[in-house]
Amino acid sequence: MPKIVKIKALGNIVISLYPILSNDLCNNLITMTNEVKRVGVLGGTFDPIHNGHLGLAAETMQLFDLQRVLFIPVNQSPHKLHYPPTSSEHRVAMLELALAQETAFSLELMEIEMGGISYTIDTLSQIKERHPDWELFLILGADAFMIMDTWKSYANIFKLCNVLVGTRPDIELKFPAKLSQMLGLKNIPLEIKNNSLPTTLNLSAGNTIRLYQIPPQDISSREIRQQVQDGKEIKNLLPLSVENYIMKNQLYRTESPPNLV
């Protein structure tokens, strides 16, 4: 049965095999060495992964001199309990295809492996425990950042990592009042204007929040699913290999996503 490689820390390199039903053998071996220090963390449902995700990771990596970006698919988002995602096997397979040629992007399956509802604080704690020498950078879009004060143990997230918030020119970034108060950022306006970006906020924990602009890409996973369901083209919205996988496996043809059998 074909396998894909998953990062699992024990010493420098350990390989854990996660089975998927695919005709292609994954040969994208991820190597983590002691030289890697600045690591981005990009979580999401990735249902499906698209060019917006990849562009955000690439732009952020270049701007903040990151050495690697971990893509971490959720098992079940606490903010989308009403929406059961496509099976993890399908989502992982699409991520593998999208990241196959991206040597600086790695796939980490810890949230899927843990099962249940996925919480960012638990994931960051595990990564930090495995790699205490890594400086972590949590990569968020503006929409996620603006509801961050609803996350589990959100105050502790800033003790574990820096937070990078990428926003598009057409988005007015609103700093959550509860979050601002918790961090002691009394002089920060609740609304951050685009002409003030990039902005760095230094936190007492020693980490930072960095707000920056990313090139506009009007792409969302929800839109892609809807366009497939409506029989419309999704060309140029996601990697061709992922588009072909969606068509081959007839994903998103109905409202309820199919499971891999």
Of the candidates 118, 113, 110, 31, the one whose C-alpha atom is nearest the C-alpha of residue 68 is 31
The average confidence (pLDDT) of the chain is: 82
76 found inside a domain = yes
CB within 8 A of 24, min separation 6: which ones? 2
- 80 and 45 Cβ atoms separated by less than 8 Å: yes
Q: What is the CATH number of the domain that holds 92?
A: 3.40.50.620
User: Would you say residue 181 lies in a domain?
Assistant: yes
Whether 3 is in a domain gets the answer no
pLDDT tens profile 4-31:
334 333 333 232 333 333 333 333 333 4
H-run or E-run covering 199:
strand 199-202
Q: Judge whether 239 lies within some domain.
A: no
Residues 6+ apart with CB under 8 A from 28: 4, 5, 96, 99, 100
SS3 (DSSP) at 121 = helix
Residues 38-95 have pLDDT tens digits of 999 999 999 999 999 999 999 999 999 999 999 999 999 998 888 889 999 999 999 9
In a domain, 242, yes or no: no
pLDDT of residue 200: 84
- Cβ atoms of 55 and 213 within 8 Å: the answer is no
Q: With cut-offs at 50, 70 and 90, classify the pLDDT of residue 199.
A: confident
- Structural domain of 213: 23-219
Look at residue 29 and tell me if it is in a domain: yes
Closest alpha carbon to 224 in 238, 240, 245, 239 = 238
Report the domain count for the chain.
1
pLDDT surpasses 50 at 248: yes
d(CA 221, CA 46): 7
Confidence of residue 232 (pLDDT cuts 50, 70, 90): very high
Amino acid, single-letter form, for residue 150: T
HSE-up of residue 241 (Cα within 13 Å, Cβ side)? 11
Asked if the structure places residue 177 within a domain, the reply is yes
Q: Quick one: which of 157, 211, 203, 153 has its CA closest to 180?
A: 203
Determine how β-strand 191-192 pairs with β-strand 173-174.
antiparallel
User: At 93, which helix (H) or strand (E)?
Assistant: helix 88-99
In a domain, 238, yes or no: no
